[in-house]
Amino acid sequence: MSKILVTRKIPGKAFETLQNSGNEVVVSQFDRVLLPQEIMEMGKEAEAVLTLLTDRWTGEMMDQFPKLKIISNYAVGFDNIDIKAATEKGIVVTNTTSDVVNEAVAEFTWAMIFALSKQIVTADNFAKRGLYKGWQPNIFLGHNLTGKTLGIVGLGRIGTMVALRAQGFEMKVLYHSKSKSEEIEKELGIEYRELDSLLAESDYVSLHVPLIDETRHLINAEKLELAKPGSYLINTSRGGVVDEQALVEALKSGKLAGAALDVHENEPAMNPELMQMENVILTPHIASATIEVREKMTEQAVDAILKVLSGEQPETIINKDAWQKRRK
């Protein structure tokens, strides 16, 4: 019997499978992010941890868990974990990536694009405040999407799904990524651009890159100065990809017409100036928040733990180099 720590209760039927696995499953009773000290106290002797992206796993933190075999991260991204340290210590790290998640984020991205283009949020607030006195021809004027240019930064699975959905609106699609994909270019009719050119040409720019050293503040004051006047920025990737203060200035100056952010630079804190802007939509990191996604994520996170504890390599392993020197 192994001890398994779950740092926050999660939804999904597969969670019952974990609890009925014959192992000692310790689940945090707090409906909040745990402090590192709390995780250490609850997780003493734990061989597996099912953790959230809000939990930080440094090398020093891992040293407090001498029996730890797997950190099963309940997220697609894993910038909350020191992967190098985990690999050196023989600790397997997994995530919950899948096309179910990717589809949800791609759909949410389009919801943001629509909401910005049609001023849905501001119009909703206007109506709910009782300010609507009858039809007018010149209020909440938005934009048609047909014929506009969409710039996608990061052509992974999510970026590709966003591009695919643009076909229905007859939009021109540009993309910037670490490498070109001629196959996808032909399949979807999209064009590669360097980042500066993409920003200058796009009416809508959607970010789909991981947060690594190279992408932190990828969208900064210098890049925003290159943006097409009156364009919109959408971020469903990671908050640190955008320099939010630079974004504030670009919105104040009118350089950008609006922005929609599901992720935030200092999450969970939100930029107070952005919170006051009517042309900005802020949501609390919910791009993947669907019933279908949470079921799939729980299934993957639980499956990874049970496989590692039984000596099998999980499908969603991030640090494959750790497998050969894993703790047994």
> HSE of 115 in the Cβ direction (CA atoms, 13 Å)?
23
Residue tagged active-site, from 176, 264, 285, 294: 285
Per the annotation, the verdict on 285 as an active-site residue is yes
Per the annotation, the verdict on 193 as an active-site residue is no
Residue tagged active-site, from 191, 201, 267, 295: 267
> HSE of 46 in the Cβ direction (CA atoms, 13 Å)?
27
Strands ordered across the beta sheet of 92-94: 24-27, 3-6, 48-52, 70-74, 92-94
User: Per the structure block, which two tokens stand in for 218?
Assistant: 């990828």
* CA-to-CA separations, 316 to 73, 75, 243, in angstroms, rounded: 10, 11, 31
Beta carbons within 8 Å of 189's beta carbon, 6+ residues apart: 167, 173
Q: How far apart are CA 118 and CA 108, in angstroms?
A: 15
Per the annotation, the verdict on 238 as an active-site residue is yes
Label the pairing between strands 191-192 and 172-176: parallel
User: Per the structure block, which two tokens stand in for 315?
Assistant: 């499908």
Residue tagged active-site, from 8, 238, 264, 326: 238
**232, β-bridge pairs:** 204, 258
Task: Say how many Å lie between the first and final Cα of the chain, rounded.
Answer: 13
Residues 252/271, Cβ–Cβ less than 8 Å? no
Active site residues: 238, 267, 285
